[in-house]
Amino acid sequence: MSSIVIDHVSADGTTLECDVRTSPALERFFSGESFRTEYDVPIEDVPDAVLVIPVLAQVCPVAWANGADVYVDEVDATFAAALDDVQASLCSMHDFLEGGTLYAKETVDVQREAGGESGLLFTGGVDSTCSYVRHREEEPTLISIRGWTITPDAADDDKWDHLRSRASSFADDHGLETAFVESNMLSFLAHPMLLAHYKRHVDGAWYSSVGHGLGLLGLCAPMAYARGMDDLYVAATHWEGIDLEWGSRPDIDDHVRWAGTQCHHDSYDLTRQERLDAIADYIEAEAPALQLQTCNVRMDGNCGECEKCYRTAVGLRLSGLEPTDHGYQFEHEDYREIRTALEEGRWVLGQDERYMWEDIRDRARETEPSSPDEAAFFAWLDDADLDELVSESRSPLSHRILHAGARNTPARVYNTVYPAWRSAKSGLQRVRSR
């Protein structure tokens, strides 16, 4: 039986660190780095049974994908039960997951008095801003995480600075506190190898399709314990009626819990367009200058040209807002560019985007266009075959060849070659963009 062993977890001031040992069959899925997470509050007084939660939240899905068991000295009893529930949900969702068992020398019933605080994972995008609007009376601490879309690499320092600045500015404007968490959870895992092995089973990447609900929430456990957070919210990406294989859903996130903290998958009852409606109502009543940040290209504002920027701008228009007032340079002539990009397959789209454009189409059918360009786009979208647009959009052939080859490549060879390939790919993208 394959296994993953969590060695002693240490807390030094605000830094969490531990090492992991695996059986040979699982070595390729780990980079060899120690697991490290940096918080902005001291965590030395957090019980060991809670300190182990962040690393368990990252390694357990990898174990379940390989039918492996996980061994740990001690774990919070509430979180151990949560892992059983999350495993059942993920294995029900993904046929390739085999499951596994968590073995602990001691299962600890950690007690914590209610702290009366709440937290919200926050980026400043549509989903997390809507969750703030709905829970603003709780004055949640805004939590920003570095380690997934913003890597720990020095090259991403500017991106992290922009996100910190944006979250801090939003918090200052609304009388809130912030919390910043930095982790190497994806470089600790050999995420490219996980992607190479399991991409064929999922619509997105490993972390987005399997790991990020449990992973991001679990990462917050020591900080939430130290701050006395009773509730922790993560904004929904999808909504009722969408049954996609996605790593953050109600049947995952709502199960995640540990001593004193219950996690919540928030605003699943609203479509993305309805979330924009909630934001629009809030803007009209309380925050006329509110800015959104959703760009897939930039962190210091919105590029206004990527698929997500255009999609958000159209959504703002359909909610009665002027995109240029809230972070998006948008003119009615841009509708022609959106149609062309979708028809020519310029953007890599998944089922995720298909449902979101369908949501926009449903609202457009109820909306009176305000210009000839808008009317023409709405008419085209009404007849567009969204499934075909998605199927005609694919990742570059070079990506697919690499992933296929990596599945049969020794881990040491792949981990050596991949950074060089990634650097070369980055250079190609820069040339193409010019």
- Give residue 296's pLDDT: 82
- Give residue 373's pLDDT: 97
Q: Determine whether 113 is exposed, middle or buried from the number of CB atoms within 10 Å of its CB (0-12, 13-18, 19+).
A: exposed
pLDDT above 60 (res 272): yes
Q: Is 92 helix (H, G, I), strand (E, B) or coil?
A: helix
Structure tokens at 428: 């190609």
H or E, element range at 265: strand 261-266
- Give residue 429's pLDDT: 35
pLDDT above 80 (res 13): yes
Q: Which residues pair with 102 in a beta bridge?
A: 70
Neighbours of 344 (CB within 10 A): 10
Task: Give the neighbor-by-neighbor strand order of the sheet with 20-22.
Answer: 20-22, 3-6, 69-76, 102-108
Q: Measure the N-to-C terminal CA separation of the chain; round to a whole number of Å.
A: 51
* Cα–Cα separations (whole angstroms), residue 159 to 19, 97, 430: 28, 34, 18
Q: 412 falls in which pLDDT band (50, 70, 90)?
A: low
- Give residue 48's pLDDT: 97
Q: 160 falls in which pLDDT band (50, 70, 90)?
A: very high
- Give residue 191's pLDDT: 87
**Helix 411-433, helix 191-198: angle, nearest 10:** 90
Q: Check: CB of residue 82 under 8 Å from CB of residue 114.
A: no
Neighbours of 408 (CB within 10 A): 9
- Give residue 397's pLDDT: 41
Strand pairing report for 141-146 and 35-38: unpaired
Query: What is the Cα–Cα distance from 402 to 414, expressed in whole angstroms?
Result: 10
**pLDDT higher at 408 or 17:** 17
For tokens 């070595």, name the residue.
Answer: 27
Neighbours of 325 (CB within 10 A): 13
- Give residue 418's pLDDT: 45
Say what the pTM is.
Answer: 0.89
Kindly state the average pLDDT of the residues 112-121.
95
Q: Check: CB of residue 9 under 8 Å from CB of residue 171.
A: no
User: In whole numbers, what is the pLDDT of the chain averaged over residues?
Assistant: 91
Report phi then psi at 105, rounded to 5: -65, -35
**Cβ within 8 Å of residue 204, ≥6 positions away:** 246, 350, 352
Q: 74 falls in which pLDDT band (50, 70, 90)?
A: very high
| Cα three-residue angle 80-81-87, rounded to 5 degrees | 90
pLDDT above 60 (res 422): no
pLDDT above 60 (res 398): no
Q: Is 21 helix (H, G, I), strand (E, B) or coil?
A: strand
Give the alpha-carbon dihedral of 265, 271, 275, 280, to 10 degrees.
-170
Kindly state the average pLDDT of the residues 318-335.
96
- Give residue 421's pLDDT: 37
Kindly state the average pLDDT of the residues 115-121.
96
Kindly state the average pLDDT of the residues 401-405.
46
Residue range 357-389, pLDDT digits in tens: 999 999 999 999 999 999 999 999 999 999 999
Q: 394 falls in which pLDDT band (50, 70, 90)?
A: low
Alpha-helix runs per DSSP H in 126-271: 126-135, 157-174, 185-188, 191-198, 206, 212-219, 221-227, 250-253
Residue range 340-354, pLDDT digits in tens: 999 999 999 988 899
Residue range 382-392, pLDDT digits in tens: 999 999 999 98
| Cα–Cα nearest to 73, from 55, 90, 89 | 55
Q: Check: CB of residue 225 under 8 Å from CB of residue 219.
A: no
The region of weakest confidence among 3-7, 86-90, 96-100, 422-426 is 422-426
* Cα–Cα separations (whole angstroms), residue 368 to 5, 121, 257, 276, 314: 60, 35, 45, 18, 13
Q: Check: CB of residue 104 under 8 Å from CB of residue 80.
A: yes
Query: What is the Cα–Cα distance from 331 to 146, expressed in whole angstroms?
Result: 33
Kindly state the average pLDDT of the residues 94-118.
95
